[in-house]
Amino acid sequence: MHLTILHVSQPVDGGVARVVTDLVRGQRAAGHRVLVACPPGGRLGPEAVAAGAESLDWPARRSPGPSVTAETARLRRLVQQVAPDLVHLHSAKAGLAGRLAVRGRLPTVFQPHAWSFAAATGSLATASIRWERYATRWASSVLCVSEQEQLDGEAVGVEAAFTVVPNGVDLAHYAPAERRAARLSLGLDLSEPLAVCVGRLCRQKGQDLLLAAWPAVLRRVPTARLALVGGGPDAQALAAQARALPEPYRVRLTGDVPDPRPWLAAADLVVLPSRWEGMALAPLEAMAMARPVLLADVPGAREQLPPAQREGGLIPVNDPAALTNALAAALSEPLDCAQRGVAARGWVTGRHDIRTVVARVSELYQKSIIAGQSTPRVPARI
């Protein structure tokens, strides 16, 4: 059965955009008509079109606010024009406007990509939890990318038809590459230990914690280098933080790059000290390229690491001292890093192939449509 699938997404960059694009590519290969509604600018629109989607202009701010009413109305009109068989909403803002626009009249999959209340504090966190409890009535399924993400939703009283499908990567695209060639192409020293952080420059990803830990790392591994790969709202603040480090601070901020693979290939270690996640995509891409990772123990991190690497590959959230110790220990042992990278590639190959993700999401769509139910019957908890 060929479907008309409408993906709605805000944000338009980072891991969410890559997840949407990968789904588009797999769904188009299966013969479905796929449309992507998203704000202009960013990578998602052009990359989704390149993957075979039809692009719909949906201006929307990233954060909730007075603009939600107009954003919801615009999205409602788009849904009426397209008449999709199913709507797939990605991340908190699309989940907010999309569920208000559709209200369960069509099969609707909501994928948080990390819960909105995980990023909030105080009254905003309370309001986010109340909204998620209420809005679950308008989703055929809540698609989580890790078991912990589901557990976190259940812990605050979200009663939904949950489905867990871990994130995946294109194993052919993110294939192991020769470290020496990558370093030469980037103008990097061939022998210096290199830690790389790939991700949007923002509070969520914790690059500020990494910079805070870096001077202590250098005292233990003086030749080490750090690269922050990506752009984002905190780019200027992080650049200033790096410049304020004692000389020589040996940190490079690359800005946004069209392809992170050369940096992943050049790394001895890929590090992501996030404050919250659902299941970050960059670590999976790194492991697919046979690079070991060091992660904060946020939702999804433990599940995406090989069991034998969880003890040394996970650190407590928001803990610069633990980050310092783990970074210094790893960068002091490049041969061990290389061995862990090979094992990580095998783990990702067996558990995080994007083809498996596309197939499982397709099964979820078919179940929602064939069952003839647009929403689960769950009690409303406010």
The CATH number of the domain holding residue 29 is 3.40.50.2000
- Do residues 207 and 334 both lie within one domain? yes
Q: Round to whole Å and give the CA distance between 26 and 358.
A: 6
**Of 286, 377, 358, which is closest to residue 34 (Cα–Cα)?**
358
What local confidence, expressed as pLDDT, does residue 301 receive?
97
- Do residues 116 and 237 both lie within one domain? no
CB 64 within 8 A of CB 10: no
In a domain, 375, yes or no: no
- CA–CA distance from 340 to each of 119, 268, 316, 346, 377 (Å)? 31, 10, 20, 10, 46
- Do residues 360 and 269 both lie within one domain? no
In a domain, 379, yes or no: no
**Of 81, 78, 62, which is closest to residue 10 (Cα–Cα)?**
62
pTM score: 0.92
- Do residues 154 and 213 both lie within one domain? no
144 DSSP β-pair partners: 164
Q: Round to whole Å and give the CA distance between 358 and 11.
A: 20
In a domain, 380, yes or no: no
Report how many domains make up the chain: 2
How far is CA 321 from its chain centroid? 25
Q: Round to whole Å and give the CA distance between 236 and 239.
A: 5
338's tokens: 């290389």
Max intra-chain CA distance, the chain: 64
From first to last of the 382 residues of the chain, give the pLDDT tens digit.
799 999 999 999 999 999 999 999 999 999 999 999 999 999 999 999 999 999 999 999 988 889 999 999 999 999 999 999 999 999 999 999 999 999 999 999 999 999 999 988 999 999 999 999 999 999 999 999 999 999 999 999 999 999 999 999 999 999 999 999 999 999 999 999 999 999 999 999 999 999 999 999 999 999 999 999 999 999 999 999 999 999 999 999 999 999 999 999 999 999 999 999 999 999 999 999 999 999 999 999 999 999 999 999 999 999 999 999 999 999 999 999 999 999 999 999 999 999 999 999 999 999 888 765 444 444 444 3
- Do residues 144 and 185 both lie within one domain? no
- Do residues 283 and 188 both lie within one domain? yes
What local confidence, expressed as pLDDT, does residue 243 receive?
95
- Do residues 64 and 196 both lie within one domain? no
Q: Round to whole Å and give the CA distance between 243 and 235.
A: 12
What local confidence, expressed as pLDDT, does residue 371 receive?
66
Return the H-helix or E-strand segment holding 152.
Answer: helix 147-155
What local confidence, expressed as pLDDT, does residue 372 receive?
55
Domain that holds residue 302: 179-351
CB 128 within 8 A of CB 152: no
- Do residues 99 and 233 both lie within one domain? no
